[in-house]
Amino acid sequence: MGTSNPTIDAANAAADATPRLPAPPLQLKRPALFLDLDGVLAPLAETPDAVVPDSRRTAVLKAVAERLDGRVAIISGRTIAEVDRIAEAALASASGVHGLERRRADGSVDHAKPAKTVRQAVEAFHDFARDRPGMIVEDKTVSAGLHFRGAPAEAEAAKALARRLADDTGLVLQPGNLVVEVKTPGTDKGTALTAFMAEAPFAGGVPVMLGDDLTDEDGFVAAEAAGGFGVLVGPPRETAARYGLPDVDGVLDWLERLKESA
Ligand SMILES: O=P(O)(O)OC[C@H]1O[C@H](O[C@H]2O[C@H](CO)[C@@H](O)[C@H](O)[C@H]2O)[C@H](O)[C@@H](O)[C@@H]1O
């Protein structure tokens, strides 16, 4: 049965027409896990701040990292500070802002130098959001995000502004889930995964990337290229992932079972 929203109906129809991917195997030789945060480890919420720590998530992250000798990292669009807030610093390895920040298992951190034009983008987003209730501007230093989950009628105008800014400034356009972002060029989730795989404790492992968003596709491709695979979380769609899981609970269940069988 259709909803009253043609966009949602079209997405549902596309999802129904696309076959579901099989669940990922549990018997894996030296798995190295790369996990997206929003939509994979945490259900989507109305605002970024509404996502808070969860005892089940924190416990399973710690347990699986211990079981896999540290071969677990979160690779997120959020900053590493945000990843640590939500995951209660459960993991030593993390990458933030689509690969622009990366913390290794030994605690050392790489930060991309922010493009100067990110400030210009943050200001333009604030100007745009000022008279539009529900819009949220996210300043991630190396990147600027404009969220329209709370103001869906402004989606097209927000995307057009971000496109214009990207064209004018050389920042990279990064579409997301009811958010549009312009970021400092140079990295994506795939480059972050590849960099982790070149170092201890990940080197020699089989990379498995779990993600739900378009930005995670770079991670799926990089995982395949390094002899592993991607796992799409959520409704089926065209993807480079080989396996699928239905939702956040499915991910946490799979991680708990993996911890027992790895
Ligand atoms: O790569 P991820 O870990 O999935 O991060 C992607 C973005 O997540 C956050 O925004 C998204 O989640 C919010 C809370 O559920 C939601 O309100 C928003 O609509 C989503 O786009 C975060 O704020 C962004 O910085 C991340 O890039």
Tens-digit pLDDT profile for residues 15-43: 555 668 999 999 999 999 999 999 999 99
Q: Using the predicted structure, report yes or no on whether residue 190 has a pLDDT greater than 70.
A: yes
The arithmetic mean of pLDDT across residues 106-115, rounded, is 98
Ligand 1 atom, smallest distance to 216 CA: 1
Q: Using the predicted structure, report yes or no on whether residue 227 has a pLDDT greater than 90.
A: yes
The arithmetic mean of pLDDT across residues 116-139, rounded, is 98
Mean pLDDT estimate for the chain = 94
Other CB atoms within 10 A of residue 210 CB = 27
Other CB atoms within 10 A of residue 161 CB = 19
Q: Using the predicted structure, report yes or no on whether residue 247 has a pLDDT greater than 90.
A: yes
Q: What confidence score (pLDDT) does residue 171 get?
A: 98
Query: Ligand 1 centre and the CA of 250: distance in Å?
Result: 19
The arithmetic mean of pLDDT across residues 191-220, rounded, is 97
Q: Indicate if 36 belongs to the active site.
A: yes
Q: What confidence score (pLDDT) does residue 20 get?
A: 87
Q: What confidence score (pLDDT) does residue 101 get?
A: 98
Confidence band (pLDDT; 50, 70, 90) for 218? very high
> Omega before 246 cis (within 30°)?
no
Long-range contacts of 88-91 (CB under 8 A, 24+ apart): 88/53, 88/58, 90/58, 90/61, 90/62, 90/65, 91/61, 91/65
Q: Could you tell me if 182 and 143 are in contact, meaning their C-beta atoms sit under 8 angstroms apart?
A: yes
Higher pLDDT, 75 or 1: 75
Ligand 1 atom, smallest distance to 45 CA: 15
Q: What confidence score (pLDDT) does residue 261 get?
A: 85
C-alpha–C-alpha distance, residues 156 and 168, integer Å: 18
Q: What confidence score (pLDDT) does residue 2 get?
A: 46
List, edge to edge, every strand of the sheet that includes 179-183: 136-139, 143-147, 179-183, 172-175
The arithmetic mean of pLDDT across residues 85-96, rounded, is 98
Q: Using the predicted structure, report yes or no on whether residue 196 has a pLDDT greater than 70.
A: yes
The arithmetic mean of pLDDT across residues 128-141, rounded, is 98
Q: What structural domains and CATH numbers belong to the chain?
A: 29-111+187-261 (3.40.50.1000), 117-183 (3.30.70.1020)
Cα angle for residues 198, 173, 245 (degrees, 5° grid): 60
Gyration radius from the chain CA atoms: 18
Query: Ligand 1 centre and the CA of 134: distance in Å?
Result: 15
Query: Ligand 1 centre and the CA of 178: distance in Å?
Result: 9
Cα angle for residues 53, 179, 184 (degrees, 5° grid): 95
Distinct helix (H) and strand (E) counts, the chain: 8, 12
Asked if residue 37 has its Cβ within 6 Å of ligand 1, the reply is yes
Asked if residue 38 has its Cβ within 6 Å of ligand 1, the reply is yes
Listed residue (227, 162, 168) closest to 193, CA to CA: 227
- Active-site hit among 36, 38, 188, 213: 36
Share of residues in the chain with pLDDT > 90 (%): 91
Q: Is 215 helix (H, G, I), strand (E, B) or coil?
A: helix
The arithmetic mean of pLDDT across residues 116-131, rounded, is 98
pTM comes to: 0.93
